[in-house]
Amino acid sequence: MTKKEIKSVLMEIVAEIIPDEDLTNLKGDIPIREQVEMDSMDFLDIIMELRKRYGIEVPEDDYMQLATLDSSVAYLEPRMRDL
């Protein structure tokens, strides 16, 4: 997957987890949770969806890497490159 594809996968996942939020103006460099109403339980679901869909394990210590869209893409790219 390219970085662009990874980003669109992430957007799709976020949209599914918080279906009632408007994501059109979501900025890549600001923590997602500062831009939309999303709590720690919802955040956990991003990790769960990555596991469910792509078999990617994100250890608890790395959760912070997924704070913004950009940092998520950077973190996931080496893990999703060959998918």
Which residues here bind another protein, judged by CB under 8 A? 17-21, 37, 39, 41-42, 44-45, 48, 51-52, 57, 59-60
Residue 58 CB contacts under 8 Å (≥ 6 apart), including other chains: 47, 50, 51, 65, 66
In Å, the largest CA–CA distance within the chain is 33
In the complex, the smallest distance separating the C-beta of residue 45 from another protein, rounded to whole angstroms, is 8
Place of tokens 């869909």: 53
**Closer to another protein at the Cβ: 21 or 70?**
21
Cβ closer to another protein: 59 or 78? 59
Q: Name the residue nearer to another protein (CB basis): 5 or 16.
A: 16
CB of 74 to another protein, least distance (A): 21
Do residues 16 and 23 make contact, with C-beta atoms less than 8 angstroms apart? no
